[in-house]
Structure 1
Amino acid sequence: MTKPIPIFIGVDPRERAATNVLIDSLYQHSSTPLAITPLLTPQLEAQGLYWRPRDPKQSTAFSFTRFLVPHLMGYQGWAIFMDCDMLARGNIADLWALRDEQFAVQCVQHDHVPGETVKFLGEVQSAYPKKNWSSLMLLNCGRCTALTPEFVNTATGLELHRFHWLAGDHEIGAVPEGWNHLVAVQDAAQAEEAPLLHWTLGGPWFQAQRTMGGALAAEWFVARDQAFRLFE
């Protein structure tokens, strides 16, 4: 029997609409059962897993909680983490099939150097090597044992997001770029066949960014309307 694919979604309370549309899009396009867990900071705090104060450079509630996924998996098996500001257009089972035991983490290895200093809702835009790599990760949890709750709550943001908890970059594998297409950052033509869109600068669920990505924003609204369609 095929086990459901474990997917953890980083949730920010300001992006609940984005989270719900992402979840529906994952289910609608998947050929395999999914086990989706939204990472809600208050729940993790209540369980004694997350206690670090908010960092001034932290733009979302899940900036650091994403690194608790291996612990939540008991450091066994594989899991997918993704930011909530995404939209699935392809079969997530195709990404799952790319798991490679020689790696501890697999992700799209962007070369993204932000030109702006702020992003959605005036949040600070930070520039650092491996920017956006951690926004979509295939995690080989048994090889991520350094990510204890104590480490996640005390390490610097750069130590976490630059994967300093691994032995080296040789433990990071690449997946095709379409699995984390950065809307309004990468060439729009690249989005045509991309199975996963990512509104890293803020998406159409924010009033001020309702047209972010042009036709891609319109596509998000179609997905939203389909997710919440009322049937008579």
Structure 2
Amino acid sequence: MTHAGVPIPVFIGYDARERAATNVLIDSLYQHSSIPLAITPIVTSQLSGVFRRERHPKQSTDFSFTRFLVPWLMGFQGWAIFMDCDMLCYDDIAKLWALRDDHYAVMCVKHDHVPHETVKFLGEVQSAYPMKNWSSMMLLNTNRCSSLTPDYVNTATGLDLHRFHWLEGDHEIGALPDRWNHLVDVQPPPQAPFGHGGPALLHWTLGGPWFREHRRMGGPLAAEWFGARDEAMQLWG
């Protein structure tokens, strides 16, 4: 358990093409949190000498694999949150933090997402594999993720990483409520109000409205993102 005064460590996958998404997500996290946060974007260029993988044609973002360095960045001590940058927070992240369970090494929303499309944002390849999107938002019990050394992250296959083959078995993966990773335009549109039983984290996995080509992705949910962006810009101004 995090004791009083110690911020929640939140790591966000960063891709320069999605800087707007990253900034709006960070603002939404701060605006809704009841306790201090320590937010760290994972920037690949800052991991020179540590992350040495060549970019794979099927790698759609800069953080496809760097996410698995979070336990190493934490010194394999304590819990941490990882999330993709293409998200928007609508509830207190402390509620997610409170769901940590030491019985597990990783906790995530266990989607059953079988994509029908072959491409997603900016023409990137859409890959289909079991446990898809599970690693897009994770609560990591980092002392139990000791297999995720830089050497392993640099050499393991993408499927081994994203399918959690670095754990002893699936019994080490705990389930989180769906509201903590709602897949926009993949899952049915939310019925309950945001933050009140409805989605706590919206996830534009197919491409978000910060891309010109996906400006209306999610219909009314796209308007929610633009509203959050405009509010953040007013605060920044």
State whether TM-score is above 0.5.
yes
Equivalent residues of 1:110, 1:133 under 8 A apart: yes
Number of equivalent positions = 230
Equivalent residues of 1:178, 1:191 under 8 A apart: no
SS in 1 for 2:152: helix
CA distance in 2, matches of 1:88, 1:49: 30
Percent of aligned pairs sharing the same letter: 73
CA RMSD of aligned residues (A): 1.1
For the pair 1:23 / 2:26, whether they are aligned, the reply is yes
SS in 1 for 2:225: helix
Match of 1:185 in 2: 186
Report the Cα offset of residue 21 of structure 1.
0.1
For the pair 1:221 / 2:222, whether they are aligned, the reply is no
Match of 1:9 in 2: 12
Mapping 1:28-177, distance limit 5 Å: 28-45=31-48, 48-177=49-178
Match of 1:212 in 2: 217
Unaligned runs of 5+ in 2: none
Letter matched to residue 70 of structure 2: V
CA distance in 2, matches of 1:86, 1:207: 17
SS in 1 for 2:41: strand
CA distance in 2, matches of 1:214, 1:182: 13
Report the Cα offset of residue 161 of structure 1.
0.1
SS in 2 for 1:160: helix
CA distance in 1, matches of 2:148, 2:35: 28
Report the Cα offset of residue 190 of structure 1.
5.0
SS in 2 for 1:224: helix
Letter matched to residue 8 of structure 2: I
CA distance in 1, matches of 2:96, 2:206: 23
SS in 1 for 2:82: strand
Q: Residues 23 and 124 (structure 1 numbering): CA distance in 2 closer, same or farther, change over 3 Å?
A: same
SS in 2 for 1:151: helix
Report the Cα offset of residue 229 of structure 1.
0.9
Letter matched to residue 18 of structure 1: A
Q: Residues 13 and 169 (structure 1 numbering): CA distance in 2 closer, same or farther, change over 3 Å?
A: same
Unaligned runs of 5+ in 1: none
TM-score calculated relative to the size of structure 1:
0.97
SS in 2 for 1:42: helix
Report the Cα offset of residue 231 of structure 1.
7.9
TM-score calculated relative to the size of structure 2:
0.95
CA distance in 2, matches of 1:189, 1:106: 22
Letter matched to residue 227 of structure 2: V
Equivalent residues of 1:191, 1:197 under 8 A apart: no
Letter matched to residue 141 of structure 2: N
Q: Residues 110 and 13 (structure 1 numbering): CA distance in 2 closer, same or farther, change over 3 Å?
A: same
SS in 1 for 2:107: strand
Q: Residues 150 and 228 (structure 1 numbering): CA distance in 2 closer, same or farther, change over 3 Å?
A: same
Report the Cα offset of residue 196 of structure 1.
0.5
Report the Cα offset of residue 2 of structure 1.
3.0
Q: Residues 211 and 168 (structure 1 numbering): CA distance in 2 closer, same or farther, change over 3 Å?
A: same
Q: Residues 231 and 39 (structure 1 numbering): CA distance in 2 closer, same or farther, change over 3 Å?
A: closer
Letter matched to residue 199 of structure 1: W
Equivalent residues of 2:190, 2:199 under 8 A apart: no
CA distance in 2, matches of 1:183, 1:230: 26
SS in 2 for 1:188: coil
Match of 2:208 in 1: 203
